[in-house]
Amino acid sequence: MEAEEVVQIRLEGRCYPVSKRKLLEQSDYFRALYRSGMREARGAEAGGPEVQQLRGLSAPGLRLVLDFIDAGGAREDGLLGAVPGEEDADEAGVLSGLVEAASFLQVTALLRLLLYQVRLGNCLELHRLAQVHGLPDLQEACLRFMGAHFHQVLHQPHFPLLASGDPGLQQRLREARMTGTPVLVALGDFLGGPLAPHPYQGEPPSMLRYNETTERWFPLASNLPPDLVNVRGYGAAVLDNYLFIVGGYRISSQEIAAAHSYNPSTNEWLQVASMNQKRSNFKLVAVKSKLYAIGGQAVSNVECYNPEQDSWNFVAPLPNPLAEFSACECKGKIYVIGGYTTRDRNMNILQYCPTSDIWMLFETCDVHIRKQQMVSVEETIYIVGGCLHELGSNRRSSQSEDMLTVQSYNTVTRQWLYLKENTSKSGLNLTCALHNDGIYIMSRDVTLSTSLEHRVFLKYNIFSDSWEAFRRFPAFGHNLLVSSLYLPNKTET
Amino acid sequence: MEESMEEEEVLIYEAMMDDQNHNNWEAAVDGFRQPPPTPSSIPVPACEAPGGQLLAVPAVSVDRKGPKEGLPMGSPPPPDANGVIMMLKGCDAAAAVAKAAPAPTPSPSSAININTSTSKFLMNVITIEDYKSTYWPKLDGAIDQLLTQSPGDYIPISYEQIYSCVYKCVCQQHSEQMYSDLIKKITNHLERVSKELQASPPDLYIERFNIALGQYMGALQSIVPLFIYMNKFYIETKLNRDLKDDLIKLFTEHVAEKHIYSLMPLLLEAQATPFQVTPSTMANVVKGLYTLRPEWVHMAPTLFSKFIPNILPPAMESELSEYAAQDQKLQRELIQNGFTRGDQSRKRAGDELAYIFFSDSSSACASSRGYR
C-alpha cells in the first residue's frame, strides 16, 4: 500500500505537512490551484516533497485550519476550544486568523461549522470578520445571536468601538429583536389548587402566554426569578422586547432597587444593574432605547437606565413627589398625569423631554384622575381605568369612581375624549397592555368593602371603539402584570 | 538552461508584481520574522498572536538573516527569495508596521483587541486609487498572459500571488470594480479576437475560429480558478451569477454570435468535403458552438447530430427503411470517394476515425482543454 501523498504547506518559513487528498477534499483554494494549471499546479520537483507557499495568513489560524483538514473535516466540538478563554486578549487575534485562513483557503466545511460557534464573547468579532470576508451565512448567524442577546451584546466592552465602524448595526439588531409573534404574556403569583387551569400540575407557573386562536393560556417554560416572587408595587416596561421588572416592595414591606429583565428570545431572566434609589409604586417608562424610573412612594427623583452601560443615572427630578399617578411615553416624550402631590390633587399634566432633560408643565386639566393606567398610540394617550373626579361637577361621583373607563388625550390638539365605560367592572388595580389592535385589560381583585370579586379580561379595540370580553381568565392569583412581547416563532405551537 | 531561464522570468515577474504600496511586503516580513529553521528541525508551531508578531519585527533583524533562506525540505528556493527585493521589502515592511502601529490609548484592552484582529493581509487599506494603480494592473497583466498563451503551455504565473491579490481586493470592498474591470477587459480582448477572425481568408476561417475558441476556453481554465474568491463571495452571493457562465457568455456574444452566419455555411461545406478541415477541428467547433448556445443546433441539425448525441428526434420504427436507404447512399458515396469496404487490413485505421468522430466526451480531443 502506497503512502498518502503529502504536501508541505509553507508559511513564514515553517512547513506543515498535510495529506494532499484531504487538501483537495476540503479546500476550494487547493482544488482550484491544481485545476488552474499555473505554476504551483506542477506538483513536486523530482525527488523532493511538494511544497505550497502561503503568505499573509497567521500561523495559529492556519494551524487550526490544517488540523481541521487533517481530521478530514470531521465535526469537532472543540474547534474554538483550542482558542484561549474569552478573557484572553489573544482570542480575537486567533479567531480572526482562523476565519481568515478558512476563508482564504475556502474550507467550506469549517466555515459552516463556525455558524454553531457564535458566543457572547466572539459574536461581534465574528460578525466583523464575516463582513470583511463576505460570509453572508456567518453574518446572518451572528446577527441572529446578537439580536437574541441584544442587551448583553450592547454592554460588551468593545461594542462601541466595533459599532462605530458599522453605524447601522444597533438599528439592525433592534429590528432583529422585533421579529417573531406578538404574544400576550401574563405574570403573577398565580395560585394552584383545583381551580388552576389545566394542564399543569405541581407548582403553578408564574408566567403564562395567551393563545389567541384557542383562547387559552399556556405556561411559559420560564418562571419569575425567586427574588421577584411576592414583590409588589414594582415598575414594569418593555424595552427592545425585554420585559423589565424593577424595584417594588416585599410583603415584609421593605422597598427594593433590584432590576431584572426577561428576554423572550432566550426565555431567560437576567439580573441587571440595580437602581440607585429603592422605590415602589412608581412608573417605569421606555423612551428612545432607555428606561426611566419615575418617582415612587415619597420620592421625586427620576433615574434613567441605559442598556449600553447597564447602569442607572439620576436625571431631572419631578417637581413634587406623586402618589397614585401614572405615566407613559408618547412621541419620544414622557407624560405624567394624575395622582396626588404631598398637599393636594395633581391637576397638572407634566411633560419630560429626554433630550433636554427638562420637566415642564404641559397643561392643567379640570378633571382629577388617579390610579389609572396609560398607553399611547402615535400622539394619543389612552387612559384606562382609575378614579375620576370632575371638580365642581354634580355628577354622581360615587358611581364614576368605580367603573372601568377608557379615555383618550391627544397631545397635539390637547383634546380629551371620553371613549367607553363599563359600569360593571372596577377600574382600580388593573393591568393593561397595548397588543395588536387593542388594549388588553386584566384585573382580579377582591374589593374589601363589598368583598365582591372582580375578574376581568377584556379588550378595548381602539379602532372600533368597542369592548371585547374573553371567557378565559388566566388563573386565580394576584399581583398581575400583562404585557405584549414578541416570542420566537418556533415556540409558538 | 531552460530551467534557469524560467526561474529568471519568474523573478522578473515577481519583481514587477511588487509596487510602491508594499503589496508584497508580508512575504518579505515572513522571511525575516523567524530565525531560519535548521534543516533537521521539526516545524514548531508559532504561538504568538499576529499582532505581536508584527510588532516584533524590528528593522535590526534585517541583518540577522541571509537573503536566501534554505527550505528545510530542500526544494528549490521560492521565487520571492530574491535578496535585493527582500532587503527593500524588509525596510518598507518595518516602516509600514511602524506606520500601522496604533497610537497608545488609555484603554489598551479594547484597542489591542481591534488591532490584533486586523489581519496582516488586510492591514493596509487599499483605496480605489491603490486598486487602480497597483492591484488591477497586476491582475490585468496576468489575465493578458493567460488569454494570449496557447492551451497547454506552461504558465509561469504564481496562483498564490494572483489569488492573494484578488482576495485582498474582495476583502477591501473592491469586488464590484474588479468584476466590472474583468468583464471590460475580456470584452475588449474578445472584440479584438473577433476582428482578427473577420480578416481571415475562408479557407483558414474554421481553423482560426477553433484556435480562438480553444485558446479562450483554455484561458478560462486558469482565469476562473484565480477569481474563485470573488466568484464565491461576490458574484454568487450578491449577483446570483457564476463567473464562468458570465465569461463563456462573453465569448458567445462578442465572438460566436458575430461569426455564426459566416461560419455555418463553411462548416456545412467542409462537412461535405472530407478532410477539408481535420475531423478534430470540426468536432471541436461544432461541440463548442453547441456548448455556447444549444439553439444553434437548429441551423444545421444533421451536422450537429454527428458530434452531439441525442439531439435528433429518436429513430422511428416506421422509418427504418428510410434509414437503411440513407446508409446505403452514404456507403455508395464513400466508395465513390475511394473508400472501399472490402479491405479488412484497413480496419484499424477506420477505428481511429470512429474514435475521433464518435467519442462523446469533450476530453477526447487532445488540443481542447474541455469546456466544462
Q: What is the pLDDT of residues B199-243, one digit of tens each?
A: 999 888 999 999 999 999 999 999 999 999 999 889 998 899 999
Distance from CA of B16 to the nearest CA of A (A): 17
- Checking if the pLDDT of B308 tops 90, the result is no
Closest CA to A409 of A388, A435, A430: A388
Which run of H or of E encompasses B283? helix B279-292
Give the largest CA-CA distance in chain A. Answer: 111
B310 pLDDT band (50/70/90 cuts)? Answer: confident
Same domain, A382 and A440: yes
A173 and A187 both lie in a single domain? no
Q: What is the mean pLDDT of residues B176-193?
A: 96
Residues A347 and A438 in one domain: yes
Looking at chain A, the whole-number percentage of residues with pLDDT higher than 70 is 85
Contact A36/B226 with Cβ under 8 angstroms?
Answer: yes
Rounded Cα distance, B280 and B365, in Å: 7
Strands A380-384 and A404-410: antiparallel
Contacts of A240 (CB under 8 A, 6+ apart): A150, A151, A174, A177, A289, A307
Query: Which of A135-149, A470-484, B132-146, B186-200 bottoms out in mean pLDDT, i.e. has the lowest?
Result: A470-484
Name the phi and psi angles at A16, rounded to 5.
-120, 115
d(CA B361, CA B281): 15
Cis check: omega of the bond before A199, within 30 degrees of 0: yes
Q: Single out the residue in A152, A177, A202 at which a domain terminates.
A: A177
CB A120 within 8 A of CB A90: no
Average pLDDT of chain A is 85
In terms of C-beta distances under 8 Å and separation of at least 24 residues, what long-range contacts does A410-413 make, across chains too? Answer: A410/A379, A410/A380, A410/A381, A411/A330, A411/A331, A411/A333, A411/A335, A411/A362, A411/A379, A411/A380, A411/A381, A412/A379
A83 inside domain: no
pLDDT band of residue B155 (cuts 50, 70, 90) is confident
Q: What is the overall mean pLDDT for chain B?
A: 69
Confidence tier at B119 by pLDDT (50, 70, 90): low
Statement: residue A280 has pLDDT above 90: yes
CA distance A94 to chain B (A): 7
Does residue A84 lie within any of the structural domains? no
When pLDDT is averaged across residues A198-220 and rounded to a whole number, the result is 77
pLDDT per residue as tens digits for the range A229-240: 888 899 999 999
The pLDDT assigned to A477 comes to: 66
Nearest CA in chain B to A165: B114
Would you say residue B101 has pLDDT above 80?
A: no
pLDDT of residue B342: 57
- A 10 A CB-CB count for B280 gives 16
- Closest CB to B110 among A8, A35, A161: A161
Cα distances from B251 to residues A148, B68, B109, B285, in angstroms, run 49, 45, 54, 13
- Test mutation, A38, A108, A137, chain B, max B CBs within 10 A: A38
Residue of A321, A242, A316, A335 lying closest to A279 (CA atoms)? A321
Residue A16 has pLDDT above 70, yes or no: yes
**CB-based contact, B170 to chain A, within 8 Å:** yes
B119 and A97 Cβ atoms separated by less than 8 Å:
yes
The more confidently predicted of residues B180 and A190 is: B180
The span from the CA of A399 to the CA of A387, in Å, is 10
Find which of A12, A28, A31, A125 to mutate to test the B interface (most B CBs within 10 Å of its CB): A12
HSE-up of residue B104 (Cα within 13 Å, Cβ side): 1
C-beta separation of B155 from B222 below 8 A = yes
Q: Which pLDDT tens digit goes with each residue over B36-58?
A: 444 443 333 333 333 333 333 33
ipTM of the complex: 0.73
Strand order of the sheet with strand A404-410? A373-377, A380-384, A404-410, A416-422
For residues A13-23, average pLDDT: 91
The CATH number given to whatever domain includes residue A59 is 3.30.710.10
Half-sphere exposure of A388 (CA within 13 A, CB side): 23
Q: Which of A157, A177, A197 is the last residue of a domain?
A: A177
Query: Virtual CA dihedral for A322, A324, A328, A334, nearest 10 degrees?
Result: -10
Whether the per-residue pLDDT at A171 is higher than 80: the answer is: yes
Express as a percent the part of chain B with pLDDT over 70: 58
pLDDT surpassing 50 at residue A283: yes
A133 and A64 share a domain? Answer: yes
Same domain, A428 and A333: yes
Contact in structure between A247 and A234 (CB atoms under 8 Å): yes
Q: Looking at the predicted structure, is the pLDDT value of residue A304 above 90?
A: yes
Answer whether residue A492 is part of any domain.
Answer: no
* The residue type at A304: C
Which residues, 6 or more positions from A389, have their beta carbon under 8 angstroms from its beta carbon? A345, A367, A368, A369, A397, A400, A401
Same domain, A148 and A191: no
A304 vs A293: CA distance, rounded Å? 6
Q: Is residue A286 part of a domain?
A: yes
Q: Is the pLDDT assigned to residue A444 strictly greater than 60?
A: yes
Residues of A in contact with B37 (CB under 8 A): 13-14
Chosen for mutation from A30, A67, A70, A90 (greatest number of chain B CBs closer than 10 Å) is A90
CB contact under 8 A, B74 and A104: no
Q: What is the pLDDT of residue B237?
A: 86
What digits encode the pLDDT tens for the residues B317-332? 788 888 888 888 888 8
Nearest CA in chain A to B115: A93
A29, A61, A133 ranked by CB distance to B163: nearest: A29
In chain A, the number of structural domains is 2
d(CA A260, CA A258) in angstroms, rounded, equals 7
Per-residue confidence (pLDDT) for residue A203, from 0 to 100: 62
Task: Judge whether B243 and B180 are in contact, CB under 8 Å.
Answer: no
Amino acid at A173: L
Asked if the structure places residue A438 within a domain, the reply is yes
**A244 near A279, Cβ under 8 Å?**
no
Per-residue model confidence (pLDDT) at position B315 = 74
How many residues comprise chain B? 372
Are A285 and A432 part of one and the same domain?
A: yes
Q: Which of A299-313, A438-452, B343-357 has the highest mean predicted lDDT (pLDDT)? A: A299-313
In this structure, the answer to whether residues A359 and A448 fall within a common structural domain is yes
Q: SS3 for A7? A: strand
Q: What is the DSSP string of B159-204?
A: HHHHHHHHHHHHHTT-HHHHHHHHHHHHHHHHHHHHHHHHTS-HHH
Cα-atom radius of gyration of chain B, to the nearest Å? Answer: 28
- Could you tell me which residues come within 8 angstroms of residue A383 by beta carbon, excluding any fewer than 6 positions away? A326, A337, A369, A372, A373, A374, A405, A406, A407, A408, A409
Kindly list the residues from chain A whose CB atom is less than 8 angstroms away from the CB atom of residue B114.
92, 158, 161-162
Report pLDDT for B26: 39
More confident residue, A160 or B315: A160
Q: Residue A12: its chain B contacts at CB < 8 A? A: 30, 33-34, 46
A82 in a structural domain: no
Kindly identify which residue of chain B lies nearest to residue A105, measuring between CA atoms: B229
Q: Answer whether residue B20 shows pLDDT above 60.
A: no
The verdict on B205 touching A (C-beta cutoff 8 Å) is: no
Q: Does B65 touch chain A (CB under 8 A)?
A: no
Given A177, A211, A241, the domain boundary residue is A177
Q: How many CA atoms lie within 13 A of B3 on its CB side?
A: 3
pLDDT of residue A394: 53
Q: A296, A260, A257: which is closest to A276 by C-alpha?
A: A257
Taking the C-alpha atoms of residue A208 and residue A41, their distance in angstroms, rounded to an integer, is 64
Per-residue model confidence as pLDDT tens digits over A86-115: 445 567 778 889 999 999 999 999 999 999
Nearest chain B Cα distance for residue A263, angstroms: 27
| A221 and A103 together in one domain | no
Q: Which one has a higher pLDDT value, B314 or A61? A: A61
> What pLDDT is attached to residue A315?
97
Other residues' Cβ atoms within 10 Å of the Cβ of residue A359 = 19
Shared domain for A128 and A195, answered yes or no, is: no
pLDDT at A80 over 60: no
Residue among B82, B50, B53, B178 at smallest CA distance from B126: B178
Give the residue on A whose Cα is nearest the Cα of B159: A38
pLDDT of residue B2 exceeding 90 = no
Q: What is the pLDDT of residue A332?
A: 95
- The span from the CA of B270 to the CA of B249, in Å, is 27
Nearest CA among A436, A443, A369, A442 for reference residue A409: A369
Residues A62 and A189 in one domain: no
pLDDT at position B368 over 50: no
Please report, for the domain that includes residue A204, its CATH number. Answer: 2.120.10.80
Residue B246: what pLDDT?
Answer: 95
3-state class of A37 per DSSP? coil
Which three cell numbers, joined as nine digits, stand for A120? Answer: 457572547
Judged against a pLDDT cut of 80, whether residue B106 lies above it is answered with no
Is B73 within 8 Å of A29 when comparing Cβ atoms? no
With a CB cutoff of 8 Å and minimum separation 6, the contacts of A140 are: none
How far is it between the farthest Cα atoms of chain B?
A: 97
Strands of the sheet containing A181-190, edge to edge, are A216-219, A207-211, A181-190, A477-487
pLDDT of residue A229: 81
Q: How confident is the model at residue B98 (pLDDT cuts 50, 70, 90)?
A: very low
- Mean pLDDT across B356-372: 40
What pLDDT is stored for residue A202 in this prediction? 57
What pLDDT is attached to residue A87? 43
What is the reported pLDDT for B93?
38
CB < 8 Å from A in window 84-143 of B: 109-114, 116-122
Whether A363 is covered by a domain: the verdict is yes
pLDDT at B162 over 50: yes
Question: Do residues A83 and A94 make contact, with C-beta atoms less than 8 angstroms apart?
Answer: yes
pLDDT at A451: 59
Residue A280 or B84, more confident: A280
How does residue B245 score in pLDDT terms, banded at 50, 70 and 90? very high
Give the span between the Cα atoms of A29 and B317, in whole angstroms.
Answer: 52
List, in sequence order, every residue forming a beta bridge with A249; answer none if it has no partner. A232, A255
Taking CB atoms and an 8 Å cutoff, what residues of chain A touch B164? 55-56, 104
pLDDT of residue A490: 66
Is residue B371's pLDDT more than 60?
Answer: no
Task: Note whether A201 and A171 are same-domain residues.
Answer: no
CA distance B160 to chain A (A): 7
Q: What is the mean pLDDT of residues A407-413?
A: 93
Q: Whole domain around residue A132: which residue ranges? A: 6-76+90-177
User: In the prediction, which pLDDT does A79 show?
Assistant: 58
Query: DSSP labels for A153-205?
Result: HHTSTTHHHHHHT-TTHHHHHHHHHT-SEEEEEEEEEE--STTSPTT--SSPP
Distance CA(B94)–CA(B57), nearest Å, equals 7
Give yes or no for B34 touching A (CB within 8 A): yes
| Residue A262 DSSP label | E
Would you state the pLDDT for residue B122?
A: 67
Q: CB of A209 within 8 A of CB of A220?
A: yes
Specify the amino acid at residue B87: M
Distances B83 to A458, B32, B88, B283 between C-alpha atoms, Å: 85, 12, 9, 51
Q: Is residue A203 domain-resident?
A: yes
Q: State the average pLDDT over residues A406-415.
A: 93
Interchain contact, B237 vs A49, CB within 8 Å: no
